[in-house]
Structures are given as structure tokens and as C-alpha cells.
Chains A and B, each alone.
Chain A
Amino acid sequence: MSAILEDLRKGHAIPVVPNVFAMGVDGSLRLAGSECQKCQWRTFPRVKRCLRCHSGNIGDVLLIPQGIVDSFTVVRQGPLEWTGLVPYVLVRVLLEDGVQVVSHLRECLTEDIRIGMSVRGELAVLFEEEGRSVVGPVFVPA
């Protein structure tokens, strides 16, 4: 992951979406989510208003990307722009604080994926675009 951070610093790599992840004070990956300041509902990715209590008072929260696989699938035929990048594994992960996150699963054989398995977040190169690596948060077995 340190090589990716270095590439991001030098501009050789770009985040997949602005403000979707950050590095915590301890240098480990965090997901940039939202927390309602009124009802404390948390979600990822970020929202403009609270879907639970309708409050517009939304703050940023850095989520620890650790949790268990709630479900998974292998995309073998993707949208047009992903044609050359299949197959890829998608997982829906239930983070320890209850937030659901959908992302890719890496470093795990398809036959080894289990609902309920523990995973953690990591930065990975998703694809190349205009000579730069596009980097996003993915999960790997914990």
C-alpha cells in the first residue's frame, strides 16, 4: 500500500472518486463516510442529508474498513467500460459499526469466499486511465 500512497503523492495515481478514502492518524486506511449529527446514522459513501431522520446536519466520519462479508458475486460480464477488467469479485461488507459497504474483494480465490468471513480494507489499483493508475478502497481477507 505504501507504493500506492507514494504514487498518489507524486500524481502518478489518482483516487477513483475524490474524498472517498483517507489515511487515519496511525497511517491505516479509512473510508470517508457520513454521520448524521442529529441521529448518529452512519453511511458510506457520503450523503447530503440523513435518510433516517431527514436532517441536513451531516458530518464527515472516517470508518474503519473492517467487517464481515454479507454477500458476494463474481462479475464476469461488466458494463462497457469494465469489459477488459472482468472477472472481478464484488462483496457487500458489514462493517463493525453496522455500515454496509460494497467494493471489490482481492487476494482471495473465488472458491474460498464465504459469507461471514472477515475482511479488511486496503488501497488497490483498479484500472489505468490516461497513463495514471486509478486507486480505490477494496477488501482483502483479514
Chain B
Amino acid sequence: MANVLVAGVGMHPTGRFSDKSYRDLATVAAVAAVEDAGLSWDHIGVLFASHTRQGISAGQQVAHDLGLAGIPVVNVENACASGTTAIHEAATWIEAGRVDVALVVGFEKMPKGVISGLGEPGSYEDRMGLNVMPALYGLMAQKHMHRYGTTVQQMALVSVKNHQNGVLNPYAQYRKAVTLEEVLQSRMVADPLTLLQCCPTSDGAAAVVLVNGSTVLPNPLRAVRWAGSAVGTMRFDSDESEVSHRTALAAYEAASIGPEDIELVECHDAFTIGEILHYEELGLCPEGEGGRFIEEGHTWLNGKVPVNPSGGLQSRGHPLGMTGVAQVYEAVVQMRGEAGDRQLAHWPKTAVTHTQGYAGVAAVGVLQR
């Protein structure tokens, strides 16, 4: 099977851009990624477009704006895991020898407020008011607190850490540090999660260029290997934690790594309890120890496994279709030593990206240099 490399990455800042369309955002990110790879546009064999609510054939609209006429365009929707899924699928095209170069662009423009329109209109969950993302995480948080003694302070530390990281990221939506008190005293959204423990809804775009390992690149040393990935859904007897754990193990196996190899993680901190759970699911710490893991400092920029140096969903923002792609952007610039003020002292050799979303979907990618 062909080796897949990430040859180029690009982003549009995340935030609110009422004067720009999703096509404008996606175009900026895609042009930046292709220029970063140093490849000519006629090398691109396929465009994967990750988005959840931009309408029919949004990827074809973006391809048109990029001047990419005539190539196959695949639109990918997998809730919050759309971006990771799109890269996973694009890598499959290269591994299968279908194309040598794939452009993946993730983008989204989102309405303000709690995400609505989840699930089937008129279903039990819809009519009963159960499809509330903060509430689903609120249930997870109460359970974790009850079972393992995780504290609201430990959860709030996730927000403090990620906002602090976001201050250093020019692409982040919120470049403002917050204190533990501010996080805990912000208004309650779904107990015990306060507003500053919930990611914002945002506009943004990110892009990556994947290539077959035999492709001649102008800067081969800047390429990072897409070592393995997996996409999963929940089983009849499982929950969100089980699917993330199982999907991570599948990705690690595909990449021939173990959790002890991981030196950087970008994970799905849509809500602070999520990041604590993901420490456990991704194997960074034993089950039940996630709260103590952040409290002991292991996941901060100078810790043994920095998590969400980009600022994560909490601070960088969470345009749904963008997130999984933006995570790879962060991993790649950190692995290249190009992350500027937030550059990790030790340039990671192995990084993991993880997203999970509505209806029990999870996706995990492994990058290596």
C-alpha cells in the first residue's frame, strides 16, 4: 500500500465573518495548503470537501472557485468528525492508487447559539428536547464525577489551558486567557458545564494536501506521514467513550503505534469533560484518571503529552466541517517546528488527532515524521 504524506496545510482564521461566504473561507485555506505543498494545481486528482450544513454540492462550488474543473469532488458529512473522516477517505484514494494528490478542505459557517437540527425532525429525541449537545456532555460529566470523583475545577482547567494556548494561535477565534474563577462563574449551560466550558459556534476553513509518498515534492523534509486512521460508530451496547476508544485502537493499529508513542494530541474538546474523557479513551492515562491528568499538568504546552496546543475547539473555535482538518494543520506545523509562539520545545514525532460527534461517530488519525 502506498505511503500517504501530508505535503501542505493551510487555514483561514476561525471566528465570525458575516461578509464572507463559506466559499471565500474555503478558498483561502485551500490556496494556502496548495502553496504550502509547493505543488501545481494540475497535480490535484480529487477534492474532498468536509462540511455539515452548507447545502448540496458545496464542495463543487468550492472547486469552481479554486479553478479545479473536471476532477472528482466528494462531499463528506460525518457531524463533528467530518474533517477527520474526509482525510481518512482521501488517504484511502491514494493508498488504492486512484490518485497521487488529494486536496481536503473543511469549512463551515454556523448560526449562533446551541446547535439545532440534530437528528430526525419529529423523532422522540427531537420532540422531547433531548438533542442538546451540551446536555449530552452534561450527562457524561455527572457520571464521571460520580464514578471517579472528577471535580468541576478539573474540568474548568481544560478551558483555562486551551484558552491560554489559543492566545498564541493567530488563527484562533478567542485569543483571550480566562481564569479558573471566570470559567466556573460563567453562566450555566447544562449542569455542571458552564458557558466557558462549551466551544463556540464559528465560521472557518482549513485544508490539507495529501500525496502519495513517491510524489516529488519541492520540500520533502516538511512533509509528515499520515500513518493510519480509523472511523467508527457506536454499538448497541456502547457509549461515546467506547466508540472513541475502539476507533483510537484501530487507528493505532493501522499506524503500528501505541499510546506511549504519542507526543501531541489534538482532540475533540467541544465540552471540557470531553477532553478529560478523551485522555482516557486515547490511552494517555488510565480510565477514571483524566481529571487528575490535567491537574498534574501533563497535557499543558510544557507537559509530557501536550493536548490541544492550537487552543482546541474551546478557543480556536469549532466550525464543524473544519475542525478535523484544522487539527491536522496544528499537528503538522508543530511537527515541522513552524508553530511560532506556541511551538512545543520538543517537536513531536508522533501526533494523534481525534474528533467525535452526534449520533456516536468518532474518527482518529495518526501522523508521524
A residues less than 8 Å from B132 (CB atoms): 75, 78-79, 82, 90
Q: List the B residue with the shortest CB-CB distance to A16.
A: B127
Q: How far is the CA of A17 from the CA of B130 in the complex (A)?
A: 13
- The answer to whether A75 touches B129, judged by C-beta atoms less than 8 angstroms apart, is yes
Residues of A within 8 A of B20 (CB): none
CB pair B187 A76 closer than 8 Å = yes
With an 8 A cutoff between CB atoms, is B99 at the interface?
A: no
For the complex, what is the distance from the CA of A43 to the CA of B235, rounded to whole Å? 13
- Given A73-B138, A90-B135, A115-B142: A52 and B113 interface contact (C-beta under 8 Å): no
**Which residues of A are found within 8 Å of B221, using beta-carbon distances?**
none
Query: Do A17 and B129 touch across chains, with their CB atoms under 8 A apart?
Result: no
Q: How many residues does chain A have at the interface if contact means C-beta atoms less than 8 Å apart?
A: 34
List the 6 shortest-distance A-B pairs measured between CB atoms, nearest first.
Answer: A73-B138, A51-B236, A71-B143, A79-B116, A74-B191, A71-B139
**A20 contacts the other chain (Cβ, under 8 Å)?**
yes
User: A45 and B124 in contact (CB under 8 A), knowing A76-B187, A77-B114?
Assistant: yes
- Is A126 part of the contact surface with B, judged by Cβ < 8 Å? yes
Binds B, one of A1-9, A58-66, A102-110: A102-110
Q: From B133, which residue of chain A is reached at the shortest CB distance?
A: A79
Contact A16 B128 (CB under 8 A): yes
A88–B190 Cα gap in the complex (Å)?
Answer: 10
A80 within 8 A of B: yes
| A77 & B129 in contact (Cβ 8 Å cutoff) | no
Taking CB atoms, residues of chain B closer than 8 Å to A126 are: 127-129
B188 on interface, CB distance cutoff 8 Å: yes
Please pick, from A16, A50, A90, the residue contacting B139 in the complex, using a CB distance under 8 A.
Answer: A90
* A and B contact pairs by CB, cutoff 8 A, 12 listed: A45-B124, A71-B140, A75-B138, A76-B187, A78-B114, A79-B131, A82-B129, A90-B138, A102-B130, A102-B139, A115-B143, A126-B127
